[in-house]
Structure 1
Amino acid sequence: MDINPIHSCHLGPDISPEQFIPEHFFMYLLKGAVKAYDGQKRYSMAPGDAVIARKNQLMRYTKFKDGDEFKKIIITLDEPFLKLFLERHPYTVSPPTNHDAFLHVQDNTLLRSYIRSLEPYYAGGLQLDPTFADIKREELLLILLQAEPHLAQVLFTFGTPDKIDLEEFMNRNFRFNVSLERFAFMTGRSLSSFKRDFERIFGTTPGLWLKKRRLEEAHFKITKEHQRPTDVYLEVGFEDLSHFSFAFKKEFGYSPTQVAAV
């Protein structure tokens, strides 16, 4: 998610530009709207909404400006910070029961007061000293856990993903444009075991399967749902329109614009 220092307040480590959430982060929307999709569920945010975006999740999101403005607060709750917090404020942690990628945070008086305390930084362009930024992150976490203790189940569960059903996972998430290393990590495998299991299950390499599966999805959307190629290529996992058009024509014998014109 891009961070505008004038219209945003960002505390903690930067967020990965990938369609992958490597660390938990808190987001509060000040102006505009957000729609997001995690491969199974769709989420939306309006001004005044707050969420915890959960780590080790795939997520595609679209931001919508209000006029020419989009304002948000992003606070990264990375694992080193959370472990230090847990040393100072012990919590008994049970396995999480909610597995959504976006966890909506309920509005309350303390949270609203906290957001107002950051106004000089997201409205005035002031920069937070790193030490003070960590104090503000700790304050936020205390407010969240006081209002919603169940968040401890999510935030204080450390470690890597367990090994899961590879076929089901890939058929659900092939549209996300992330590296094979990310796919391997999320399915609880090393890259070598991921490739080995993938070829055993699908009978081809991950790279070839992903390209073919994404092109088939694009073909369906253009021919059956009458979507435009310019709206489809990013949605199915391609980064570049010209590369998508070349691969599409090589696969089907005609370009996506020829299909769309029919």
Structure 2
Amino acid sequence: MRDIAKDKQSSILKEQFIPDHVFFYIIKGEISFFDGNRRYTFKAGECGMAQRNRLAKYILSDSIEEFEPIIVCFEEAFLQQFEKKHKKLKTTTGKTNDGFVKIQTTELIHSFIHSLKPYYKDVMQLDEAFEELKSEELLLILLRDQPKLADILFDYSIPEKINLEAFMNRNFMFNVSIQRFAYMTGRSLSAFKRDFKKIYNETPNRWLIQKRLQEAYLLLDTKKRKPSDIYLELGFETLAHFSYAFKKRFGHAPSKLTESR
């Protein structure tokens, strides 16, 4: 999520796997996230938490110049040290399957955000000497006002083995490695490939291309979308790669569907 501030295009996030819990506060602008299940929108003055080990894409409502977030990453080692130091008790009802959790803003959160400004050296770059201290301060504030977040933050378990077919049908548009898909479904790479072959009778890479191209055809033909608007959304890295794969699969360029309207 740190790449949001570096990306000069108001488009889809390329680094789509979130390895650590991330707190974010929107100072200016508006952003929408998609985690494969639902869309979440955060506006100026709102804040939330992105859960670790999740896939996500984002779309900025305005240009990058009109967007300013504050982002604090909670790495696992830091959380373990914090839990040991403060001996926070876990709650039993705070877990959620949502990739993003909207956090109610309070006066303490607003004051904390305001206090960060003197410690920033650059956009999204907090002075390292104060980074851990300010992260600890923020976490104390969050847990005081919303203790149920403890169930999310202090859960260090790795992904459990889940239904591979349902997961892939829901997340095929995310441009991440096969190794990442295997990890997120609770499998080794070899077990993932073996189970995938049993379900689809195809290799993961070939199936992903075909699935994305089928979805592309639908969006172009019936939803009247443009090739330049959908290739990133569907997990293709470049428009040229998308156009080449589409023509190879269907015998004509994707632009032909839009030109024939």
Q: TM-score, normalised by structure 2?
A: 0.91
Q: 2:46 is matched with which residue? A: 49
Asked if the contact 2:50/2:100 (under 8 Å) is kept, the reply is yes
1:186 aligns with 2:184: yes
Q: Which amino acid aligns with 2:50?
A: A
User: Quick one: structure 1 residues 169 and 73, their matched pair in 2 at CA, closer, same or farther if it must change by over 3 Å?
Assistant: same
Is 2:260 aligned against 1:259?
no
Aligned 8 A contact 2:5 2:123 in 1: no
Match of 1:170 among 149, 168, 171: 168
Q: 1:137-178, CA deviations, whole angstroms, 9 ceiling, x for partnerless residues? A: 000000000000000000000021000000000000001110
**Judging changes above 3 Å, is the alpha-carbon distance between structure 1 residues 35 and 127 closer, same or farther for their aligned structure 2 residues?**
closer
What corresponds to 2:17 in structure 1? 20
Find the counterpart in structure 2 of residue 135 from structure 1.
Answer: 133
How many residues are treated as equivalent by the alignment? 252
CA distance 1:257–1:68, change in 2 (3 Å): same
2: distance between equivalents of 1:227 and 1:48? 32
Separation in structure 1 between the aligned mates of residue 185 and residue 125 of structure 2, nearest angstrom: 39
Counterparts of residues 222-261 of structure 1 (less than 5 Å):
222-261=220-259
Distance 1:196 1:110 in 2: 51
Deviations 1:11-40 (A, max 9, x none): xxxxx9521110001000111110111111
Residues 90-141 of structure 1, C-alpha deviations (whole Å, 9 max, x = no match): 1232475322111111111111110110122459879644242101000000
Aligned to 2:136, the other structure's residue is in SS state helix
Aligned match of 1:79:
76
Q: Which residue of 1 aligns with 2:29?
A: 32
Distance (Å, rounded) in 2 between the aligned partners of 1:243 and 1:257? 14
Residue 68 in 1 paired to residue 52 in 2? no
Q: What amino acid maps onto 1:80 in structure 2? A: A
Percent same amino acid among aligned pairs? 47
CA shift in 2, pair 1:67/1:177, >3 Å: closer
Tell me, what secondary structure is at the counterpart of 1:26?
strand
Partner of 1:220: 218
Distance 1:48 1:194 in 2: 42
Q: 1:137 to 1:67 in 2, by over 3 A?
A: closer
Aligned to 2:10: none
Deviation at 1:247, TM superposition (A): 0.5
Kept in 2, the 8 Å contact 1:120–1:126? The answer is no
Deviation at residue 70 of structure 1 after TM alignment: 1.5
| Whole-angstrom distance in 1 between the partners of 2:229 and 2:254 | 11
Structure 2's unaligned 5+ residue stretches are 7-12
CA distance in 2, matches of 1:138, 1:253: 57
Which sections of structure 1, spanning at least 5 residues, go unmatched?
A: 6-15
